[in-house]
Amino acid sequence: MTGHGSFRRGRGWGCQSHKPITLCLFTLILCDLVQQVEGLDLWRSSARIASLFPRTGDLLGGPAESLKKRGENKTVWITNKVYQGETFFDEWDFYNGPDYTHGLVNYLDKTEAMNSGLAYVSADGRANMHVDSTTSFKVDDITNQTRLRPSVRISTKAKYNHGLFILDVAKAPYGCGTWPAYWSTNENWPNDGEIDIIENVHSSVSNQVSWHTTANCTLVSPGNYTGTVGSTICDHGYMSNTGCGIVDPSIASFGAAFNAKGGGIYAMKWDSLSIDVWFFYRTAIPDDILADLPDPAGWPRPSASLSGLGCPIDNYFRNHMLIFDTTLCGDWAGTSYEAAGCPGTCAERVADPASFVNATWSINYIKIYNQTIINTGYLDAGAIRAGYRVLATGLFLITAIFLLL
C-alpha cells in the first residue's frame, strides 16, 4: 500500500519551523536587495528578465490596465527600413530628367549610371555615387546646354511620415561648382514640404540644414539647437525660395575636413513636435547608434531644429522620400560661384573633368526607425515579479537543500 506518508517531508522543507522561517525571511530580504540594486537600471534589467520569462511575466503582471496607469510611457525606436550594402540601390529610383534647380548636369538612369561606374556598391559595402570626372566637354556645349556633365540623383521608392533617419556617410561631395544634397520631399512640393539635411556648395566647411514650405511656417529663434540661424521664414515664396535654415557649428560638417575625418552620422528626427538634425563626428557617435538602439532623448542638443511652435509640423510636412543628388552650378552654386572665390566661370569649371574628383557620395548605411510608445508599467511589474520569484525560488531551494543535509 502506498501512502502519502512515504513522501515524508524533509526537516527544512518549507517555512514550517523557526529556523527555516528565519532563512526564508533572509532569502526574501536578499531578493529584495537584489531587486533594488537591479532597480537602479529598472528598464534594462526588467527588459532583460522579461525576455527570459515572458509568459511568467505576463501571468504575474496582474491586470494590464492598472499596470499601465502606474507605468511610464517610454518612447522606443523600432527599425523600419535599412538601406545598406549590395542591395542599397534596389529600392531607389534614378531620376534622369532635367535638374529642377537648373544645374549643368545630365542625370543618368539606373542602367547608364551603373554601366558608367557612377553608381555602384564597393567591396567595402559602401554605396557610391560620383559626378563624371573623366570626360572633357567643350565650354560652349556646357554653356548652351547641348551636352552636360553626367551625375546621379536618386530617391527612395518608399515614402515616410515621421521617424528617425540615421545616415552614416563616409564622404560627401564638395568642390567649386558642386552642389550636393541629401534631402526629402515628394512630388507635391511645396505643399508637403522639403527638409534639407545635408546641403551646401563649393568648398564650404559647414553643413546647412533648411526647410522649404508653404506660407506661415517660421523657424523659432533662438531655439533648442546649437547652429547659427540664417533666414527664419520657411515659405518658398519668400526671397526666391531661400527657405529657413541653420548652419552647423562644426567647421568639419561639410567639405574636405568632413571627408578627411571619415565623415560621420547625420540623424534627422521628425515627429509632430519638431524636425531635428544632429551631426556627429565619426569619433563621437553615440553608443546607442552603434548598438542599433538609438535614443535621441539621450543625445546632446541637435545642430538644427524646426519647432512646432513656429511651424505646426504635420500641417507642412508629409510623405517624404529621401533623395541624394549632386548638381553643378545652377540656382545656388552658379549664382554664388564668383563670390565663393572659385576660378573662371562655373561653365568652364563643369567642362573640366578634374574639377569633380571629390564630387562623391559614399554611404555606409541609412537606417530608418519608427517611433513606438511602450508602457513600462506592464513590463516592469511583470518582469520584476517574475525575476523576483525565480531568484527567491532558487535561493530558497539552495537554503532548503543546505538544511536537509
Q: Is 293 in the site for ligand NAG (CB under 6 A)?
A: no
Task: Give residues with Cβ within 8 angstroms of 92, minimum separation 6.
Answer: 83, 154, 155, 156, 157
Q: Which is nearer to ligand NAG, 242 or 375 (CB)?
A: 375
State whether the Cα torsion 172-173-179-180 is positive or negative. negative
> CA separation (Å) from 122 to 238, 273, 283?
42, 39, 23
Q: Which is nearer to ligand NAG, 22 or 161 (CB)?
A: 161
Match 506518508 to its residue by C-alpha cell: 5
Q: Which stretch binds ligand NAG (CB under 6 A): 4-12, 20-28, 352-360, 381-389?
A: 352-360
The CA dihedral of 351, 353, 354, 360, to the nearest 10 degrees, is 120
Minimum CB distance to ligand NAG, residue 336 (Å): 16
Q: Which stretch binds ligand NAG (CB under 6 A): 36-44, 190-198, 322-330, 354-362?
A: 354-362
29-58 residues in contact with ligand NAG (CB under 6 A) are none
Q: Is 296 in the site for ligand NAG (CB under 6 A)?
A: no
Burial profile 52-67: b = 16 or more Cβ within 10 angstroms, e = fewer: ebeebbbebbeeeeeb
What are the residue numbers of the active site? 194, 199
Q: Is 297 in the site for ligand NAG (CB under 6 A)?
A: no
Q: Is 175 in the site for ligand NAG (CB under 6 A)?
A: yes
Instruction: Round to whole Å and give the CA distance between 259 and 362.
Output: 10
Q: Which is nearer to ligand NAG, 229 or 403 (CB)?
A: 229
Q: Is 73 in the site for ligand NAG (CB under 6 A)?
A: yes
Minimum CB distance to ligand NAG, residue 252 (Å): 13
Q: Is 292 in the site for ligand NAG (CB under 6 A)?
A: no
Q: Which is nearer to ligand NAG, 111 or 144 (CB)?
A: 144
Q: Which stretch binds ligand NAG (CB under 6 A): 29-37, 94-102, 136-144, 285-293?
A: 136-144
Which residue number places its CB atom closest to ligand NAG?
Answer: 307
In degrees, to the nearest 5, what angle opens at C-alpha 219 toward C-alphas 217 and 221? 150
Q: Which stretch binds ligand NAG (CB under 6 A): 72-80, 116-124, 321-329, 379-387?
A: 72-80
Q: Is 355 in the site for ligand NAG (CB under 6 A)?
A: yes
Q: Which is nearer to ligand NAG, 33 or 357 (CB)?
A: 357
Minimum CB distance to ligand NAG, residue 271 (Å): 11
Q: Among 21, 33, 215, 239, indicate the residue that binds ligand NAG (CB under 6 A).
A: 215
Show the site string, 230-269: x = touches ligand NAG by CB under 6 A, - = not.
--------------------------x-------------
Interface size with ligand NAG, residues (CB under 6 A): 25
Q: Which is nearer to ligand NAG, 41 or 140 (CB)?
A: 140
Q: Among 28, 62, 74, 80, indicate the residue that binds ligand NAG (CB under 6 A).
A: 80
Minimum CB distance to ligand NAG, residue 276 (Å): 10
Minimum CB distance to ligand NAG, residue 236 (Å): 12
* Residues found near ligand NAG in the complex (CB under 6 A): 68-69, 72-73, 78, 80, 140, 143-144, 161, 175, 214-216, 220, 223-224, 256, 307, 309, 355, 357-358, 370, 375
